[in-house]
Amino acid sequence: MSTRKVFQYYRAYQWTDIFAMIRNSRQAPKVCTDRFDGKLVVITGATSGIGYSTARKYAAQGANLLCVNRNSEKSEALRREVEDEFSVRCDCLLADLSSLEDIHRVAHELASLHAPIDVLIHNAGVYLTEQERTPDGLDKVLVVHHLSSFIINYVLMEKLKAQDSARILLVSSEGHRFAAWGLNLDDVNWEKRRYTGLRSYGAAKTSQLLSMLVFADRFRDSGVTINAVHPGAVKTETGQENGPLYRWWKKTFYDPILKTPAISAEALYYCGASTELEHVSGRFFNLTIEEKPAPPARDHDLALALWNTSLELAGLADAAAEHPLSNSILKAS
């Protein structure tokens, strides 16, 4: 990261934004009571935690579900539970969202659906204290949090634009603030720098927010919106891949102070179904309160550079050459 960039971000940080984040984190999410009967909601990582609670919330309001999960047994249990309890349809696609091959396959399966996708929720996530590389040689945290949603959104662009409307929700995190001085696009795989769980997670979540800026520009005036939602400090199974010391610390000290994922589901339902957000796009919400992300996540020049890097990493560069990126995002506020 250049000295100029660091200085740019340093000048943009404001204490009022930090105080707003703390204040917003104490608020309960707004509640949407509107039904969602017959709508189709796609959710990644729906067999536990936030994804599971969100799937049940949408199903309880009449939505049909298409869940993208890794585990076939848990997926089948979820399908039976949702269909028996709520009398809606619940289908599942199996995929490992750390594998580029699986991500591309699922993306094209979704793109070939005849039914419109009303809400697409990118929820799958991972937190690692020690770096893991995917079979494609990429940083696993970057792929799961950023590239998986990037590829699926990119492949689905034309399908979603052809619909009357659609909403994309990125399950984001206040943890994007751990990338306080931005991204190093010359070392997205953490081969040159010291890897830590917090820095990797922060970079991946910042990447997710930056891609949102460009997608919002690409979807402008199409009826498709894309927003990011911090789901609150809630108890989930994230981090179970780590060693026994981390799992003990999380269970003993962190989990007892966390809230139930039900508040996340309430927020994600509001952001996906409320008429108040029908035309709102490119925004970051702390639960249901709009909030200003950290300066690196608002850097439009970096967003464009990351877009091109992501196309290369995702194997989409050739397809992207047919649809060059507009420079209009550089003029955004």
Task: Extract the tokens encoding 112.
Answer: 């070939």
Q: What is the rounded distance in angstroms from the CA atom of residue 91 to the CA atom of residue 160?
A: 20
The residue type of 62 is G
Angle, nearest 10°, between helix axes 148-162 and 100-111?
10
Task: Write the DSSP symbol of residue 277.
Answer: G
Q: Which of 9, 52, 201, 269 is catalytic?
A: 201
Pick from 143, 88, 169: nearest CA to 78:
88
Whether 201 sits among the annotated catalytic residues: the reply is: yes
Burial label, 208 (beta-carbon count in 10 A; 0-12, 13-18, 19+): buried
Q: Is the dihedral of CA 249, 254, 256, 262 positive or negative?
A: negative
Query: Cα dihedral angle (34, 39, 42, 46), rounded to 10 degrees?
Result: 60
Q: What is the rounded distance in angstroms from the CA atom of residue 64 to the CA atom of residue 38?
A: 6
The catalytic site residues sit at 201
